Structure 1
Amino acid sequence: MRGVLVTGASRGIGRAVAVAFAERGDRVAVHCAANRADAEETLRLLPGTGHALVVGDLGDPGTARRVVDEAVRALGGVDVLVNNAAVAPTAANRHDVATTSYEDWLAAWRRMVDVNLLGAANVTYGVARHLVDRGAPGSVVNIGSRGAFRGEPEFPAYGATKAALHAFGQSMAVSLAPHGIAVTSVAPGFVATERQEGTLAGAAGEGLRGQSPFGRVGTPAEVAAAVLHLASPEAAWSSGAVLDLNGASYLRT
Structure 2
Amino acid sequence: MDFTNKNILITGASRGIGKATALAFAEKGAKVGINYRNNTEEANKTLAELKGTGHSLFAYDVSKKEETKALIQDFVTQYGKLDVLVNNAGISIFHDLDEVGFEDWTYAWEQTFKTNLFAVANTSYWAAQAMMTSGGGHIVNVSSRGAFRGEPTKPAYGASKAALNAMSQSLAKKLAPYQIYVGVVAPGFTETEMAAITLTPAERENLLRESPFKRMAQPKEVAHAILFLASEGAAYSSGTIIDVNGASYLRS
What is the TM-score of this pair, normalised by structure 2? Answer: 0.96
Is 2:189 aligned against 1:203? Answer: no
Q: Which residue of 1 aligns with 2:30?
A: 26
2:212 maps to which residue? Answer: 213
Q: In structure 1, give the amino acid aligned to 2:17.
A: I
| 3-state secondary structure, aligned to 1:191 | coil
Partner of 2:101: 101
Return the letter of the residue paired with 2:73.
Answer: D
What CA distance in whole angstroms lies between the structure 2 residues aligned with 1:235 and 1:155?
A: 33
Stretch moving more, 5-14 or 103-112: 103-112
Partner of 1:239: 238
Q: 2-side partners of 1:239 and 1:228: how far apart?
A: 13
* Deviation of 1:198 (Å): 3.5
Is residue 128 from structure 1 mapped to residue 132 from structure 2 by the alignment?
A: no
Map 1:27-42 → 2, pairs under 5 A: 27-42=31-46
Q: CA deviation at 1:37?
A: 1.1
Shift of 1:59: 1.2
The aligned counterpart of 2:113 is 113
- TM-score in terms of structure 1 length: 0.96
CA distance in 2 between counterparts of 1:115 and 1:198 reads: 22
Q: Is the 8 A contact 1:52 1:74 kept in 2?
A: no
Q: Which residue of 2 aligns with 1:166?
A: 165
> How far did residue 33 of structure 1 move?
1.1
CA deviations over 1:71-98 (Å, ceiling 9, x no partner) = 11222211000000111x2xxx311110
Deviations 1:159-182 (A, max 9, x none): 111111111110000011001111
Q: Equivalents in 2 of 1:201, 1:154: separation in Å?
A: 16
| Cα separation, 1, equivalents of 2:204 and 2:119 | 32
Q: 1:114 corresponds to which letter in structure 2?
A: K
- Between Structure 1 and Structure 2, how many residues are aligned? 248
Which residues in structure 2 correspond to 1:39-118 (within 5 Å)?
39-87=43-91, 89=92, 93-118=93-118
RMSD: 1.0
Q: 1:200·1:206 contact (CA, 8 Å) conserved in 2?
A: no
Distance in 1, matches of 2:177 and 2:41, equals 40
> 1:199: how far off?
4.8
- Mapped partners of 2:154, 2:23: distance in 1: 30
- Give SS of 2:34's match: strand
- Which letter maps to 1:142? N
User: Aligned pair 1:12/2:16, yes or no?
Assistant: yes
Gaps of 5+ in 2: none
What is the distance in 1 between the residues matched to 2:206 and 2:97?
24
Taking the aligned partners of 1:43 and 1:76, their CA distance within structure 2 comes to: 20
Instruction: Give percent identity, aligned residues only.
Output: 48
Shift of 1:188: 0.3
Hey, what's the Cα distance between the residues in 2 that align with 1:124 and 1:221? 24
Distance in 2, Cα, partners of 1:204 & 1:61:
35
- Partner SS, residue 131 of structure 1: helix
- Which of structure 1's runs of 4+ aligned residues deviate more than 2 A? 198-201
Secondary structure of the residue that 1:29 maps to in structure 2? strand
